[in-house]
Structure 1
Amino acid sequence: MKKLDNEKELVKKALAVGGAYAEKRGAAQFEDGDSANERLEFIYRLLVRDKLIQPMPELQVSQQTIRHRLALWAKSLTPN
């Protein structure tokens, strides 16, 4: 897995866009006390459930791989 050049910024964008998607869909109401890792995992699992991203094998799911997968998703949302 090759790290993206601007992966941190893309993860922040994925948190914002994915959080807004989850709230608009009525699946979650994030609070200030929720950790970023919990939010990222919830967003990942929601996007997989809605078939917006490909699922990873459960043995490969970790915070690092979730961050990378969501960064790729956020990158795909950005027009070139």
Structure 2
Amino acid sequence: MKKLKNEAGLVKEALRVGAIYAEKRGVGQVDESDPQKVKVTFVYRLLVHDNLIQPLAKGQENEPNMRHKLALWISRQLPKDHPLLKDE
């Protein structure tokens, strides 16, 4: 698994967008006081359940891999000229 440029920023954006998606879908809310690990797991499992991302292989479902999947997902959703996708 190769780390993406700006992966931390991409994960933060994925959690923000994922929280909005979850709220609009009516499945729950991501609270600001929730730990990062809980937010990552919630958004990852919601996106897998809705078939928006492919699930990780059995035994590979851990926080770093979920964060990477979320970063990949949001990088495909953002416009090509988004600042998080720029090479620096």
Shorter-chain TM-score: which interval? over 0.9
- SS state at 1:12 partner: helix
In the alignment, what sits opposite 1:3?
3
User: Kindly, what percent of the aligned residue pairs are identical?
Assistant: 50
In the alignment, what sits opposite 1:48?
48
Mapped to 2, the partners of 1:79 and 1:31 lie a distance apart of 27
Give the 4+ runs in structure 1 shifted more than 4 A. none
CA RMSD, 1 decimal: 0.9
| Aligned residue identity for 1:17 | V
Count of paired positions: 80
| Aligned residue identity for 1:42 | F
Q: Which moves more between the two structures, 29-38 or 44-53?
A: 29-38
Which structure's residues are more often helix, by fraction? 1
In the alignment, what sits opposite 1:21?
21
Unaligned runs of 5+ in 2: 81-88
Q: CA deviation at 1:28?
A: 1.1
- SS state at 1:39 partner: helix
Q: Please give the TM-score of this superposition, normalised by the length of structure 1.
A: 0.94
Unaligned runs of 5+ in 1: none
